[in-house]
Amino acid sequence: MDRLWVEAAEGRRRFLDRIALSFEPSHAAATLAYEKAMRERNKLLKEQIRDAAWYRVLEAQMAAAGHRIHTARQAAVQHLATAQQSAETAFPTADLQLIQSEGDMPLNEAEFVTALAEGRGRDMAVGRTLIGPHRSDLIGTYASKGIAAKECSTGEQKALLVSLILANARALAASEGAPPILLLDEVAAHLDAGRRAALYDEICALGAQAWMTGTGPELFAELGRRAQLLEVHDAAGTSEIMTA
């Protein structure tokens, strides 16, 4: 996810959906229901089907699931904002904004149904649905500098990403009464020694079980004796794990 801020919006939606899912388990079902109904609607659009009866059922399904998706995403953004504001951390605060590429997201399910119905002609011209949570984007800003995340340095982008992951963990610990298990692949990449030390201190302070990978033991020197180090080596075509 190191290129989260500079790549396409789809990756940022997936990132936010994983966070939303951590707070609302039904988010996955809503996402699947929405995508299934939208695929069927898009098929009708591409085939130039004009019978409104074919669309009404699908659009009702899209509106119901789409509103739930948008609500869960907004709640996730608020959880992250609250967790960042209340924390003493060495990582920068990321101001987040959920936007739509085609106007505003309908305020409720009924408005969503109306918007889909009114947009059929435009959607048919391009062969796809142009409004809904599949057109959302997560915009991040380095709060103290007022700089868009996509314009920050590689190190700053990574620090903002780590800040959000830690905020997600803190918010879950507060709501569930226990911290989540953290799986952090190459988390130390692009972090200097000071930021690595701060990251490890915050993970330990969370009291979470954390699995972290890296290309060498020097990346975890700041952990000292607070962690168990496992080294993976190639041995005759198989992986061998050794306790350091």
What stretch(es) of the chain map to CATH 3.40.50.300? 181-244
What stretch(es) of the chain map to CATH 1.20.1050.90? 9-153
CA atoms in the 13 A half-sphere facing the CB of 235: 7
**Are 163 and 155 within 8 A, CB to CB?**
no
Supply the pLDDT for residue 55: 97
Q: How far apart are CA 2 and CA 162, in angstroms?
A: 10
29-40: average pLDDT: 98
Domain 181-244 has CATH 3.40.50.920: no
**Which of the four pLDDT bands, split at 50, 70 and 90, describes residue 101?**
confident
Q: What is the pTM of this model?
A: 0.89
CATH topology of domain 9-153: Glutathione S-transferase Yfyf (Class Pi); Chain A, domain 2 (1.20.1050)
**Which of the four pLDDT bands, split at 50, 70 and 90, describes residue 37?**
very high
